Chains A and B, each alone.
Chain A
Amino acid sequence: MVESALVDWSRLQFALTAGYHWLFVPLTLGLAVIMATMESLYVVTGDEFWKKTTKFWMKLFAINFAVGIATGIILEFEFGTNWSNYSWFVGDIFGAPLAIEGIFAFFMEATFFAVMFFGWEKVSKRFHLAATWLTGIGAAISAVWILVANSWMQHPVGMEFNPDTVRHEMVDFWALVLNPVAISKFFHSVFSGWMTGAIFVIGISCWYLMKKRETRFAMASIRVAAIVGIIGTFAVMLSGDSSGIQAAKYQPMKLAAAEGLEEGGPRAPFSIVPGVEIPGMLSILATHDLDGYVPGINNLLDGYTSPDGVQHPSAEEKIARGKRAIEAFGQYRTLQASDPAAAAEARRVLEENMAYFGYGYLTSREELVPPVGLIYWAFRVMVGVGGALLLLMFVVLWAERRGRLPQMKWLLWASLLAIPLVYLAGQAGWIVAEVGRQPWVIEGLLPVKAAVSSVSVGAVQTTFFLFVVIFTLFLLIELRILMKAIVTGPQIENE
């Protein structure tokens, strides 16, 4: 049996690494769109002001990119070392999208990134603009493949388990790519990046206004960023709605945990905070129907019949079927050479119960419930902060259009303080997505405790602390370079 300390440390290390990686990705995605919009204004108007404005934000984009680059590679190291069972078990499903991402991202970024930074005076305006847009589009396309792989873990489709190779094999590439969870997750993640980029630009521009410098630059940047941010936030809301529907269909325990919903049913209420509920709202959000049935935690554990007549087995039944699948898998492996007929029968039992394979590793029904408190509050932080930031962007845009923004000190401070908040909302979103799917690495097929490698706890602890020290140092270096660039400023008004 795998030590629980090993599972906890491996999981904590992965969470920390992924969380750290996600500090840089959303700003890359969002800032790319903002600077490309600014450069488009330069090409359309011919006004040098927009060129200098673009160049300044491009500089901050490069700093963020330089520090963020390769932070994702650590995750791949961890797959091989700490999660070898998982890495082998998922097979091509995970390898193919990541390989495409690696090759595609490398060539796209190496080409267009270079034109963007080295090509200002060497290529035509329009070619340069195309390179800037393509850098942003390339970053978003990179995200597609990562999110396709992640979504397969949330809702495994387009694959079959091969007991001979102990791997999953892709049988339908398009089912994998067009996984509805992947589509929602892609738009939700990319547009949350737009929000991050917008709040970052608005916050820094407001700092210039507080310091009474670079006023034209700051006001123009705020205008572009607020529009991008508002569009992004509405897209985040739409894709979030779609994610809610997907969670209700494919990961009902995640949804029940995010709502702290113990007993479900039709007209399920939505909890704003504990004790304050909107009747029927959860049913509307999860099924787009006031009378839609939403199972609660207890219903999912006890088993229930949904309104369409489908019987959903209890936790105990799923665990029993999972154990049958694992036992049949073991028998198939041992009997293959000596008794082909018995092996064929074992394979039939395995295939019959494969959907519950992962449940066989669980010892109690309680293991199926993710940490409710953490997910409940993370969801509220994500939605609450997101809503507040949308309001902030509307107010900032209104004040900028009226020319009142430089005098509204409280709004300038609020915008500056919004920068850490947008990161908080992004991290909270990933907590909902990833902690919410616990105990699963692959929904229903592999729990975290069966996915870890048999390495020593000490080894995982060592790399955990090593990672904390090294990457905190890198983060501090980035912040120092970033601050230096911001304090120096675009210097447009000094020329």
Chain B
Amino acid sequence: MRNPLRTIYNFYVEGFRNMTWGRELWWLILLKVIILFAVLRLFFFTPTLAGKSEEQRIEHVGNQLTNQ
């Protein structure tokens, strides 16, 4: 009896290997994901509350909302 996980794995591997026009799209997706996560997220979209503890976040937002 064939291992179902192996069958699923082979299904994906063969699918990717036999791609024709889809290859270009996957490169596009890869490029986009790299730009999104390795450039934009890392250097430009640092979460404002990052690095703060739960209490510090409550304090920060609470102050922001009461001191406007």
Q: Chain A residues in contact with chain B, CB under 8 A?
A: 1-2, 59, 62-63, 66-67, 69-70, 73-74, 77-78, 80-81, 84-85, 87-89, 114, 117-119, 122, 164-166, 326, 329-330, 333, 361, 449-450, 453-455, 459, 462-463, 466-467, 470, 474, 477, 481, 485
Q: How far is the CA of A85 from the CA of B49 in the complex (A)?
A: 9
Contacting pair A466 B29 (CB below 8 A): no
Q: How far is the CA of A165 from the CA of B56 in the complex (A)?
A: 11
What's the count of A-B pairs with C-beta under 8 Å? 103
Q: Which of A84, A122, A485 contacts B61 (CB 8 A)?
A: A84
Closest residue of chain A to B26 (Cβ to Cβ) is A66
Name the B residues within 8 Å of A485 (CB-CB): 21
| Cβ of A169 to closest chain B Cβ, rounded Å | 13
User: Closest 9 interchain pairs by CB?
Assistant: A118-B15, A80-B47, A84-B48, A77-B45, A66-B25, A330-B66, A453-B48, A88-B61, A81-B45
Q: How far is the CA of A114 from the CA of B28 in the complex (A)?
A: 17
Name the B residues within 8 Å of A89 (CB-CB): 61, 65
Q: Which of A2, A80, A118, A474 contacts B49 (CB 8 A)?
A: A80
* Size of the chain B interface, CB-CB below 8 angstroms: 34
Q: Which of A67, A78, A117, A450 contacts B22 (CB 8 A)?
A: A117
| Cβ of A265 to closest chain B Cβ, rounded Å | 36
Contacting pair B29 A69 (CB below 8 A): yes
From 20 to 52 in chain B, residues with beta carbon under 8 angstroms from any chain A beta carbon are 21-22, 24-26, 28-29, 32-33, 35-36, 40-41, 44-50
Contacting pair A77 B41 (CB below 8 A): yes
| Cβ of B61 to closest chain A Cβ, rounded Å | 4
Contacting pair A77 B68 (CB below 8 A): no
Given contacts A326-B65, A485-B21, A119 and B11 within 8 Å (CB-CB): yes
| Cβ of B14 to closest chain A Cβ, rounded Å | 7
Name the A residues within 8 Å of B29 (CB-CB): 66, 69-70
**Is residue B53 within 8 Å, beta carbon to beta carbon, of the partner chain?**
no
Contacting pair A118 B61 (CB below 8 A): no
| Cβ of A186 to closest chain B Cβ, rounded Å | 27
Q: List 8 A-B contacts (CB under 8 A).
A: A66-B26, A66-B29, A67-B32, A77-B40, A77-B41, A81-B48, A118-B14, A455-B48
Q: How far is the CA of A114 from the CA of B21 in the complex (A)?
A: 15
| Cβ of A252 to closest chain B Cβ, rounded Å | 26
Given contacts A78-B45, A329-B66, A73 and B36 within 8 Å (CB-CB): yes
| Cβ of B63 to closest chain A Cβ, rounded Å | 9
Contacting pair A114 B15 (CB below 8 A): yes
Name the A residues within 8 Å of B22 (CB-CB): 62, 117
Name the B residues within 8 Å of A118 (CB-CB): 11-12, 14-16, 18
Name the A residues within 8 Å of B44 (CB-CB): 81, 459, 462-463, 466
Contacting pair A63 B40 (CB below 8 A): no
**Is residue B4 within 8 Å, beta carbon to beta carbon, of the partner chain?**
no
Contacting pair B25 A62 (CB below 8 A): yes
Q: How far is the CA of A33 from the CA of B18 in the complex (A)?
A: 26
Name the A residues within 8 Å of B21 (CB-CB): 59, 485
Name the A residues within 8 Å of B33 (CB-CB): 70
Name the B residues within 8 Å of A78 (CB-CB): 45
Contacting pair A80 B48 (CB below 8 A): yes
| Cβ of B17 to closest chain A Cβ, rounded Å | 10
Q: How far is the CA of A459 from the CA of B26 in the complex (A)?
A: 31
Contacting pair A81 B46 (CB below 8 A): yes
Given contacts A66-B29, A69-B29, A117-B22, A450 and B49 within 8 Å (CB-CB): no
| Cβ of A120 to closest chain B Cβ, rounded Å | 10
Closest residue of chain A to B18 (Cβ to Cβ) is A118
Q: How far is the CA of A449 from the CA of B68 in the complex (A)?
A: 9
Name the B residues within 8 Å of A80 (CB-CB): 45, 47-50
| Cβ of A494 to closest chain B Cβ, rounded Å | 17
Contacting pair A88 B66 (CB below 8 A): no
Name the B residues within 8 Å of A470 (CB-CB): 35, 40
